[in-house]
Structure 1
Amino acid sequence: MRAALAAALASALLLGACTSESDQPDGSPSPAPSPSATASPAAGVSTPVEDGVYPDVGDPGVDALHYDLSLTWAPDTRVLTGSEKVRLRSTADADHLQLDLAADLTVDSVTVDGKEAEFSHDGKDLVVSTDVRADQRYLLVIDYRGTPQPVPAPTQRNDFDTTGWTTMPDGDVWTMQEPYGAYTWYAVNDQPSDKALYDITVRAPRPMVGVANGELVARRTIGGRELTHWRLKDPASSYLVTVAIGRFTRTEDESASGVPMSYWTPRDHPALIDELRRAPAGLAWLEDRLGPFPFDSLGFLIVDSESGMETQTMITLGDTDYATSPEVLVHEMAHQWYGDQVTPVDWRDVWMNEGMAMFLQGAWMAQDQGISIEAVMDDWAVSEPELRKEYGPPADYDPKAFGASNIYYGPALMWDELRKRLGDDEFWRLVRAWPAGHAYGNADYDDITSWWSEQTGEDLSGFFDDWLLGETTPARS
């Protein structure tokens, strides 16, 4: 999640991994994007739901399997031209398919399985008239264009108030879209229960370059434009997908365990690379506790923002000292396991992402500062009751206060209490086992709380309910 300006609250990083790159001369087109050859036939199949906190975004009737996005950005005119192929599964018999797409974008044409289809685009709802059957697959092709704008965020934080496509005065672009906002730049089922595979091709005039999630499988200059093609082979929720277009320099690195790492920094701020080179040490610390890094590569992207956000395999950070601090790097990398590898079914359970990432950040800070974890938690516990009172319990928060500190500190304290209750060995074993045993899927409140009860042989339902749904902060041991 986005970095808060409050003390010790971690920012969210955009993850966009890149493991290969080919610079080729003008002339030859990029190979046509295609789904990852290594993906299983079931990859991208999800069980979409209507969101319990933000029901107006997303449609449980659609299960997107693969998005193939071809994006051309004209910074002078601020026009985005997109051609999108969506392989999807209908979850029910219906006479239409519905995706989210901002009203700022004009749809020129839509086809379903190669045939032109009638559609309406009222507000952010793109409704395609076509008869569909439950569990059948369809190929939706959408051509669109327009000047994307960010949308208001349901938050009271002071480091961001909009989400989605953001254009800077110089024409550079970045996207952060938690809890929603992906629909500001492509047609999407914009709800976290619907995970899909992605191919993203970006064209922009040089010296700009497009950065996105996954593996950089092609990079070429064609007619004065820089083309990059990115492939995300593991299913991702829409809020974990990003694109940035700007004057970036790429620096390659590698973790101690052999994970390829890339740093994308603004060309006019070369010193920022020194901040990011602290990431491999933090990743090694996390792998000691959580197991092998769950994706093929990891990227870090610096943009002109006051905050940042984790996305799958590419972490996007603001260019502030706090956003690139070691504790934030640890927090955002922790989301690769808690949030990205296993993602909440809906936004009620964002505490699953932020609470564990915050606890891990606290454990790292304790070791780094030579103090106990309890000392860090004692400090955080001071403000937690007031946060709970103002914004609600972590798993029943005020929908107008998304991302407030109550979803960070309360669950972090909860995990520390469970650590003390179970003992370090058992606690850390289960912290490691949860994402590995639920890899690349979604989970909700009942899933994770019942799993901890089953694994420990204790009925922990009351413990979790008190910490996550209680109006008052439980007593600490």
Structure 2
Amino acid sequence: MRSALLAILLGVAACAPSNGDAFSSATAQTPTPVQSGEGWGAHGIGDTDFPLDGNGGYDISRYHLKIGYDPATKHLTGLASIEAAATQPLRRFNLDLSGLQVSEVSVAGRPATFARSGDELSVTPAEPLAKGGSFTVTVAYAGTPQPVKDSSNLGTYGFIPTADGAFVTCEPNGAKTWFPANDHPADKARFDFELTVPQGLTALANGELTKKPVTSGGRTTFSWSERHPMVTYLATMTLGKFELREGRTTKGVPNLAAADPKYRATLNGLYTTSGEVTDYWTTVFGPYPFSSTGGVVDDFPAGYALENQTKPMYGGFQPDEAIIAHELAHQWFGNSLSIKRWKDLWLNEGFATYAEWLWSEHKGRASAQTLFDNYYARQPSDAVWAYPPGRAQPRDLFNESVYTRGAMTLHALRKHIGDATFFTLLKTWANDHKYGHVTTPEFIALAEKLSGKELDQFFDAWLFDKGKPAL
């Protein structure tokens, strides 16, 4: 997820993990007493580490987001139409929404009553919803979005106003800062965006433009659609002044690079490297899972990157090849294959970090073995050995171990089962779970199946036990 912060400290560009010195109050949630009753959707999707994230009782299939934003006033107006299916009989259900004022809610075209409590929007339809029934909930809302300002572990995320627009990166739970959502990766959906901004600005979102931008009355509307399932934290509506370069990769994948004028010198390199990396990963991980690739460099000093689906975001720096390789590897691992619970985060970050090592090896630089050896040389007392990456901790979710020791796990596995089996494993893993959800036990089971080896002790040592694993 987060990128450049650790580049100076470690000399590499990953999604900047924390060093564990600071704990994030925003990532450790304490459940508060909530009302419950028969036919009420749960006030959380069931992630015990993040009990208030997401909601129960329904599954969303598509978001239609019609949003206007004025950078001068920092005012947002939104109309969200959300298509869903009830997974239980529902007299009432919740959506996640932070701060913005709701003026009207309807369900199945009929006015619904609603109430707010913290980041919860509770909706009571005019008629109860039957289990298995499809419905559309429409929410009209407006206000000034407020990003999540977290500790040094995560920085600032969500809808972040900038001088000329907004920088929108939402991992882990910042989608609710700009639209009502089931804000947890366990509920994936397709997205349509209709984004209206002052004329002269560009609004970027996931997927591809569905029609040419339309300008009227000094405002321009951009229509984007991501037709592949996506978790909410990957959604973006980054906007501002951008220079664009569009084309296709050598293998024919549509490629869009965008850069703030301050970073125009990065545009061609971002475009070229994104195309080269995307095409190379298809030979390692299998077919590219989405319909376009690329990236965006914005003039916001985030100090990190985020793998927003089809359009990774780079906040206030020129991304090097390692960062681009990391964020584009996430299109397979984290985006197409999504985790059901945050405790399995190493399946995203360990894989993307190991992809950096594979890219280095591919380019004839340091081999994955050399990079592994460098990290393994750390003393047994080093903090990385005290944090088992297979169980990401809610108070230090993005710990360095999740990235580095996660990557080391994959390299140790490669050595243990051999290159042929290992790279077959990567492709099989990506293909078998395409557009779905994954868990660590599923990965272990597949590794055992393909290798013909019992790997419990191996994974216990590398993923679940404290201490430096023996080679």
Calculate the TM-score normalised by the size of structure 2.
0.88
The aligned counterpart of 1:101 is 97
Partner deviation per Cα, 1:408-436 (whole Å, 9 max, x = no partner): 11111111111111111111111111111
Task: Determine which of 168, 183, 193 is the counterpart of 1:190.
Answer: 183
Using a 3 Å threshold, how does the CA distance of structure 1 residues 371 and 245 change in structure 2: closer, same or farther? closer
The aligned counterpart of 1:51 is 47
The aligned counterpart of 2:28 is none
Residue 401 of structure 1 aligns with an amino acid whose one-letter code is: D
Matched, 1:320 2:317: yes
Identity rate of aligned residues, in percent?
30
TM-superposed CA distance for 1:291, in Å, is 1.7
**Kept in 2: contact 1:52–1:348 (CA 8 A):** no
CA distance in 1 between counterparts of 2:383 and 2:206 reads 34
The aligned counterpart of 2:78 is 82
TM-superposed CA distance for 1:65, in Å, is 0.8
TM-superposed CA distance for 1:195, in Å, is 0.4
Partner deviation per Cα, 1:181-207 (whole Å, 9 max, x = no partner): 100000000010100011011000021
CA distance in 2 between counterparts of 1:259 and 1:191 reads 29
Helix, strand or coil for the counterpart of 2:359?
helix
Matched, 1:329 2:333: no
Residue 421 of structure 1 aligns with an amino acid whose one-letter code is: H
The aligned counterpart of 1:265 is 259
The aligned counterpart of 1:135 is 132
Using a 3 Å threshold, how does the CA distance of structure 1 residues 299 and 274 change in structure 2: closer, same or farther? closer
Partner deviation per Cα, 1:218-258 (whole Å, 9 max, x = no partner): 21212111110010101111011111010112211321111
The aligned counterpart of 2:411 is 416
Partner deviation per Cα, 1:261-315 (whole Å, 9 max, x = no partner): 0011113432111330222222232122112211111131112231110011111
Using a 3 Å threshold, how does the CA distance of structure 1 residues 340 and 112 change in structure 2: closer, same or farther? same
Matched, 1:246 2:248: no
CA distance in 2 between counterparts of 1:383 and 1:224 reads 58
Equivalent positions of 1:146-185 (< 5 A) are 146-153=143-150, 156-157=152-153, 160-168=154-162, 170-185=163-178
**Kept in 2: contact 1:150–1:166 (CA 8 A):** yes
RMSD: 1.7
**Kept in 2: contact 1:156–1:400 (CA 8 A):** no
Task: Determine which of 351, 359, 363 is the counterpart of 2:358.
Answer: 363
Residue 329 of structure 2 aligns with an amino acid whose one-letter code is: A
**Kept in 1: contact 2:256–2:293 (CA 8 A):** yes
**Kept in 2: contact 1:84–1:141 (CA 8 A):** yes
CA distance in 2 between counterparts of 1:144 and 1:374 reads 52
CA distance in 2 between counterparts of 1:55 and 1:445 reads 20
TM-superposed CA distance for 1:62, in Å, is 2.4
TM-superposed CA distance for 1:378, in Å, is 1.1
Matched, 1:10 2:14: yes
CA distance in 2 between counterparts of 1:384 and 1:406 reads 14
Residue 53 of structure 1 aligns with an amino acid whose one-letter code is: D
The aligned counterpart of 2:304 is 307
Residue 11 of structure 1 aligns with an amino acid whose one-letter code is: C
CA distance in 1 between counterparts of 2:164 and 2:378 reads 40
Matched, 1:442 2:437: yes
**Kept in 1: contact 2:421–2:450 (CA 8 A):** no
CA distance in 1 between counterparts of 2:152 and 2:357 reads 24
CA distance in 1 between counterparts of 2:72 and 2:227 reads 33
TM-superposed CA distance for 1:373, in Å, is 2.0
Equivalent positions of 1:287-302 (< 5 A) are 287-302=282-297
TM-superposed CA distance for 1:63, in Å, is 0.8
**Kept in 1: contact 2:345–2:392 (CA 8 A):** no
More strand by percentage: 1
Greater mean alpha carbon deviation, residues 457-466 or residues 257-266: 457-466
Matched, 1:403 2:398: yes
**Kept in 2: contact 1:93–1:134 (CA 8 A):** yes
Helix, strand or coil for the counterpart of 1:163?
strand
Structure 2: stretches of 5+ with no match in the other structure:
17-43
Residue 279 of structure 1 aligns with an amino acid whose one-letter code is: S
CA distance in 2 between counterparts of 1:455 and 1:120 reads 51
CA distance in 2 between counterparts of 1:139 and 1:254 reads 36
Number of positions where the alignment pairs a residue of Structure 1 with one of Structure 2: 433
TM-superposed CA distance for 1:403, in Å, is 1.4
Matched, 1:466 2:461: yes
Partner deviation per Cα, 1:144-180 (whole Å, 9 max, x = no partner): 0000001244x543xx422211012x24201111111
TM-superposed CA distance for 1:366, in Å, is 2.9
Task: Determine which of 229, 234, 238 is the counterpart of 2:228.
Answer: 234
Calculate the TM-score normalised by the size of structure 1.
0.87
The aligned counterpart of 1:22 is none
Structure 1: stretches of 5+ with no match in the other structure:
13-47
CA distance in 1 between counterparts of 2:170 and 2:347 reads 18
Equivalent positions of 1:25-40 (< 5 A) are none
**Kept in 1: contact 2:241–2:260 (CA 8 A):** yes
Using a 3 Å threshold, how does the CA distance of structure 1 residues 370 and 114 change in structure 2: closer, same or farther? closer
TM-superposed CA distance for 1:388, in Å, is 3.2
TM-superposed CA distance for 1:4, in Å, is 4.3
Using a 3 Å threshold, how does the CA distance of structure 1 residues 383 and 193 change in structure 2: closer, same or farther? farther
The aligned counterpart of 2:59 is 63
**Kept in 1: contact 2:241–2:261 (CA 8 A):** yes
